[in-house]
Amino acid sequence: MVRGQGLTNQYGKDAAFYLVDEISKYELLYHIGEKMPLERLEPEAREDWKKVMTVMRSKYPGVPEEFAWNAWRTIRGEYFRSRCAQKWRGRLPFLGTSEIPGRKSTGSNISDARIRTRRSGRSHMEKEIAPEPDASVVGPKRTPKRRPARRVHRREPYSPAVQSRQRTRVSTVYENTAEEPDSERQPPKRPRRRRQVSPSPVVRSPVDQSTVQNWTNPEVFVEPLEESISTVPSRESSEERPVDEEIPIDKTFKAIIKGTWLKIEKKAVAEMAISELKAKILETICALVDEMTPI
């Protein structure tokens, strides 16, 4: 069917309303499936359709039979959908009373629909009047199963002591699994503590008052370090001394730096000597701070 060529487009909406009113007089026609072609109509339905077309052509002369049939199929198909217009809801109440959804209706289906309607009414009445079954025959009623209560797992708040005990317990289990089955369980081993190496004793020498006064000024305090480095003897003088000779080291700040620098020149590994120099410088500075800090 070409778009724009139909019963409503050619003859107006009143023609469709008039067609529906005429089809409502013939119960066999509005039980025919919406996809049923006109050529496959049964003889009884075909006679009813000819009566409808005779009335239609008396009011709308020359109306094609195809236009009327396609219009009826469209109206009937949209009636059971949500997009059906309200105008057809009021015009097609007969479709909702005797329609068998999901099945093509014919003359035999109409009688089946009536029989089913009567049977459904009878079965409904029988259900209301039916007596209750005997409990001794049927047995006790089954009680509905209760669903198990939901378990809520609450997490304990974080505690360092609890965590440490758990770690100790895990380590103990791990150690026991590695042992032989006949061996006795031993208490968990305590973690080894690092030995704190005490610094070498420093012989405190009397500090110059000018150095103590200038301690708060870092620029003035750096000057003795530069002077001590500048006064380091040259490589020629150090090479003249034997390697195994012990160098006397005074405990003053300048003497420590000077003696350590001579060790750096004689040692093959200079990194260890430099680290030793840093450690002695730090010890000397700490000693000066202890002397100047009031008790």
In sequence order, the 6+-apart residues with CB closer than 8 A to the CB of 163 are none
At 207 the pLDDT is 47
Going by C-alpha positions, the residue among 13, 7, 56 that lies closest to residue 48 is 56
Is 185's pLDDT higher than 70? Answer: no
Cα angle value 49/51/55 (rounded, 5°)? 115
CB 188, CB 171: distance < 8 Å: yes
Going by C-alpha positions, the residue among 35, 31, 42, 52 that lies closest to residue 111 is 31
Q: With pLDDT > 90 as the criterion, what percentage of the chain qualifies? A: 1
Run of H or E residues at 235? helix 235-240
Is 110's pLDDT higher than 50? Answer: no
Is 281's pLDDT higher than 80? Answer: yes
Residue 235 tokens, joined: 């490589």
Going by C-alpha positions, the residue among 56, 4, 64, 62 that lies closest to residue 38 is 64
At 22 the pLDDT is 87
Mean pLDDT value of segment 273-291: 83
Gap between the Cα atoms of 126 and 131, Å rounded: 10
Q: Which of 70-74, 91-95, 145-149, 190-194 has the highest mean pLDDT?
A: 70-74
Categorize the per-residue pLDDT at 186 as very low, low, confident or very high, splitting at 50, 70 and 90: low
Is 79's pLDDT higher than 60? Answer: yes
Gap between the Cα atoms of 140 and 134, Å rounded: 10
